[in-house]
Chain A
């Protein structure tokens, strides 16, 4: 269990802007993700929980242990907080071998157990063969595994990971995710993970907190957040949404349908069919989001909105259409037929995929 209320104002320096962090994070999830762009305050939150940054106000509770309470004057030093911290760039001590790195963390264990525990941990993380090497002689994946093993040896209450997959290629990422899933299962250790990668959040997170500018925008299961972003700011951060300004032209509560006139920048207005929006009047202006992979694109004339293609690109197994007005559609490449051309395209907006953004 993590319950952290943190308020911290940072004065700007020569190379930094003033920043204010003000959020409340409360979760019982096994793996919790702090998601947001760089500069959102994710790492600062982690630092506050680990004790490297002292909040101006607030209270940090982990599993009923009070780590920090401004009102009560409680502020445990980092070494007493038992927060395993895995840094973005592993932070293994470069002058020590892997075994020494692990032994450094085992100091709190009873003397007789240390050797055995270090050995066990090396085994468990498949590091025994390279235990005598220095971090510089290891692969990125081995370093990251060792960093996690080292953090676990210090018997933490929870594991804090600061963008652990940055700098790892796709295969090593998969490996890291497996290791983390394993850690969570074997050690029953709550994990708080910082990332700006939505795929990572979806893959690992049971609960996700979306941060921006030092504020909490939304929280919930990652899939739920992705399905219904709370507002256009979240939708923009998730990055896979088309955002439309729409006006309700007509409504049909019986068929649960509405007719909408959509406005996008630098392109003509267009009309689409939408779901019924209870509680909204005729003529009301709404902000709607729709995932780019929910759009249907075809080059045949038919039902849908005619649009001009501005840019086409192929990604891994996905074809990406960017139309004038900034509308983006993605679809599996194999369903792409015929090949893209610069003529007229027809885009369909499935009504059930439209989400109302606040």
Chain B
């Protein structure tokens, strides 16, 4: 039986898109955390951390409640795009995002906080706005670490199972991502198909880690 490669392509697409959104989200959060001291900081931090510790099924349940066809957000989505969100591949993107974004936000914030204080201080004393300080000084100095974290986040969003199966389901050819397909193959006693997919996803994950390590090592180090 020929291997069905659809789950791999779907997963790459889902992971790519969710990682991109997660990166933007993490930069926004890192900017918020670095540039301003605001009241809701601890609350926001807790919200970001929560998905890391909650069981995937619980997260999936929350998403169903939040984005289901009877929820306001779900209805808004359906009104804008003409189709429901849940049990589509777009729902898998949301699931992967919830899986990967918290980690990336944590890493990006830490990366920006690890930039020695004197650089942003110097930028501000030279008349630069917070915005310019962030984009031209802080972020470039933390960029490699942020990219390394992004590679890890990509591998992580590739591997989500629990949340995806709750909100996107297991519809072969439509929402069946690679992790779900592996589960399906093992359930169906199709060991050969499972083995191929397991090897492929392991290879992708290893490459991501290799890339992350490489990026992490290229340092701007030798700081003045």
Contact = CB atoms under 8 A, between A and B. Distances in A.
Given A87-B118, A90-B224, A94-B223, A78 B137 contact: no
Contacts of B137: 93
B20 interface: no
Q: Interface on chain A toward B: helix, strand, loop, or mixed SS?
A: mixed
A89 B118 contact: yes
Contacts, number: 78
Contacts of B132: 107
Contact of A151 (B126, B129, B140, B224): B126
Contact of A104 (B116, B121, B128): B128
A135 interface: yes
Interface in B120-165: 121-129, 132, 136-137, 140-141
A65 to B, nearest CB: 15
B58 interface: no
Interface in A138-178: 138, 143, 150-151, 153-154
B124 A78 contact: yes
Contact of A94 (B126, B129, B141): B141
Contact of A84 (B116, B121, B125, B222): B125
For chain B, what secondary structure do more than half of its interface residues adopt (helix, strand, loop), or is it mixed?
helix
B5 interface: no
B224 A94 contact: yes
Contacts of B198: none
Interface residues of A, number: 33
A77 B123 CA distance: 12
B9 interface: no
A154 B224 contact: no
A79 B128 contact: yes
Interface string A77-97: 111111111010111111100
A301 interface: no
Nearest to A153: B126
A93 B128 contact: no
B222 A85 contact: no
B121 A154 contact: no
Contact of A79 (B127, B220, B223): B127
Contacts of A151: 125-126
Interface in B13-62: none
A153 B220 CA distance: 25
Interface residues on B, range: 20 to 34
Contact of B121 (A52, A94, A108, A153): A52
A193 to B, nearest CB: 16
B135 to A, nearest CB: 12
A94 B222 contact: yes
Nearest to B132: A107
Contacts of B116: 91
Given A92-B224, A94-B141, A104-B136, A87 B127 contact: no
Contact of A105 (B121, B127, B220, B222): B127
B119 interface: yes
B127 A91 contact: no
A154 to B, nearest CB: 4
Given A104-B128, A107-B128, A154-B127, A85 B224 contact: no
A85 B122 contact: yes
Contacts of A48: none
A95 B222 CA distance: 10
A329 interface: no
A104 B224 contact: no
Contacts of A87: 118, 121-122
Interface string A57-101: 000000000000000000001111111110101111111000000
A281 interface: no
B136 A91 contact: no
Contacts of B121: 50, 52, 78, 85, 87, 91
B49 to A, nearest CB: 21
A154 B220 contact: no
A146 to B, nearest CB: 9
A91 B119 contact: yes
A249 to B, nearest CB: 57
A136 interface: yes
A83 B125 contact: yes
B2 to A, nearest CB: 50
9 contacts: A78-B125, A81-B125, A82-B127, A83-B125, A84-B125, A91-B116, A93-B137, A104-B128, A135-B223
- Name the 9 nearest CB pairs between A and B, nearest first: A135-B224, A136-B222, A85-B125, A78-B124, A91-B118, A91-B122, A105-B126, A92-B224, A94-B223
